Chain A
């Protein structure tokens, strides 16, 4: 059940250029959240009126906390970045359909840039053999957190500053990565290329999509993505029908 609640900030610190690691106490939301879901954060400054959708990086039901790793990309996220420990954040969530984690032998997790954080909770919830492939422009985030899960972690960077020089799909081709299912989150161009790779290898692939949204609950119909429908398409909502879709359903933009 979705809730609007006041969360207490326990931590909000930079971990990379423009990227912040926030821990909030919100037991009612943590209780029912699952991997791949998101929350809306309200700014309450009277100017930036729309709440901001932020993916959930980790869920801890014992402590009633959520970890959010977010990038400062506009006014809203910049305002969050100035929040201090013990500040109150009004949030709504958990929202959307997260990853439906399959009982398979080998799972692959593919994240790009600020799409990496929601995969951490997803990895922790999956069983069996796991391979994690993370891509960044330069440098890394959350590498140690992913390594702590015991899974194999491969890194690709555009500038070659860390690991493989190139993008995640080039790395997967180079390493001939195969498995039973892919869970992914990242920029649209990465997800499109990944879904082609998955199809060529016959791997089922789930992608978490992003789009500008207002309400976060399916009412405003702002966050449309194209979903195949016979020879045509229909628009589905990232916030309510997604954000996770099967890659075969998505009609990718050219």
Chain B
């Protein structure tokens, strides 16, 4: 008998597998392929205080073993999210984690205030999107700024606050500690790595924004390394992500120290990816007599 339940900042998930923000919308599209009830949590696409139009197209470029995106957090705003997406997601037996984005601290706080008292389970503060000129990664790459934005967000948040970290830094453990000092309840990592692709025949970047965020299986070793370092450096639970395609990948992140994992780009490659990661994790646990996820969590010294 295996028990896949995990606890993050007091919220119990039926299993440690969630969706990575921005790869799963609010679940509607994938509900045509998978059973949302099976997921530990749905982390929704970034929500801002007002609708955001995002960046110009092209926004997608395929690269070796992954992809670049420069979507720029296009979203219909928090009012739409509350009206349309919370009721949709609440039909399912899964936790709702809302990724929140902003250009300024004030905008983050506006989203948090709008979500206070609403039927959601956790917040994820996106201070790591590489595709917005203000806010996003600009907040997530400077320790004092990270601590400040997290502590401001914590003042208003009535739900546990996950802080999503950028890998585009010299020392991710310093950023992680700053988020912990700011009062974060959990950390999630990694957001995308900044990257670029040039169409040598057109002599132009493929992305209209020139630079985008890289994701997919090619980034997994970097993500595993960062999850390992961060989970050793802080006391907070860590949600690991970056190139997870299957159950073995999830196990790898858990052994590196992750309490839960998120499936991102894999959804685009295979709409059944989340379910298959859950099935693969359970198979691993059965085969290797792991009765609780915590037995393998952070076992790498």
Which A residues have a C-beta under 8 Å from some C-beta of B? 1-2, 4, 42, 47-51, 76, 92, 211-215, 217-225, 233-235, 240
Contact = CB atoms under 8 A, between A and B. Distances in A.
B104 to A, nearest CB: 21
A211 B58 contact: yes
Contact of B64 (A1, A47, A221, A240): A47
B65 A49 contact: yes
B32 A213 contact: no
Interface in B53-72: 53-54, 56-62, 64-67, 69, 71
B29 A215 contact: yes
Contact of A50 (B22, B57, B269): B269
Given A4-B271, A47-B65, A50-B67, A211 B216 contact: no
Nearest to A222: B60
B45 to A, nearest CB: 7
B60 A220 contact: yes
| Chain A at the B interface: SS class | loop
Contact of A217 (B61, B67, B271): B271
Interface in B205-244: 206, 216-217
A49 B29 contact: no
Interface string B249-272: 000000000000000010111011
B60 A214 contact: yes
Given A4-B272, A50-B269, A215-B29, A223 B65 contact: no
Contacts of B267: 215, 219
Contact of B57 (A49, A217, A218, A225): A225
A212 B23 contact: no
A223 B271 contact: no
B74 interface: yes
B32 A223 contact: no
Given A2-B33, A218-B29, A213 B60 contact: yes
A1 B23 contact: no
Contacts of B29: 215, 217-219, 240
Nearest to A234: B53
A218 B45 CA distance: 12
A50 B268 contact: yes
A235 B53 contact: yes
A114 to B, nearest CB: 17
A211 B57 contact: yes
Given A220-B69, A220-B268, 16 more contacts: A2-B32, A2-B33, A49-B216, A49-B217, A49-B265, A49-B268, A211-B58, A212-B57, A215-B271, A217-B30, A219-B267, A222-B57, A222-B60, A223-B60, A233-B53, A240-B29
B58 A48 contact: no
B280 interface: no
B66 A49 contact: yes
Contacts of B216: 49
A214 B22 CA distance: 12
A221 B45 contact: yes
Contacts of B51: 234
Contact of B268 (A1, A48, A219): A219
A225 B56 CA distance: 8
B31 to A, nearest CB: 11
27 contacts: A1-B32, A42-B269, A47-B65, A48-B62, A49-B265, A49-B268, A50-B67, A51-B269, A212-B58, A212-B60, A213-B60, A214-B265, A215-B268, A217-B29, A217-B271, A220-B22, A220-B23, A220-B60, A221-B25, A221-B54, A221-B74, A222-B58, A222-B59, A224-B54, A224-B59, A224-B74, A233-B53
Report which residue of B24, B45, B71 has the largest number of chain A beta carbons within 10 angstroms of its beta carbon.
B71
Contacts of B74: 221, 224, 235
Contacts of A76: 62
A32 B71 CA distance: 31
Contacts of B60: 50, 212-214, 220, 222-223
A4 B270 CA distance: 9
B174 to A, nearest CB: 32
Contacts of B24: 219
A192 B269 CA distance: 32
B123 to A, nearest CB: 21
A50 B271 CA distance: 11
B269 A49 contact: yes
B71 A218 contact: no
Considering the complex of A and B, which 8 residue pairs feature the smallest CB-CB distances, nearest first?
A222-B60, A214-B268, A212-B58, A215-B268, A219-B29, A212-B60, A219-B25, A217-B29
A76 B217 CA distance: 18
Contacts of B22: 220-221
Contacts of B54: 221, 224, 235
A51 B67 CA distance: 12
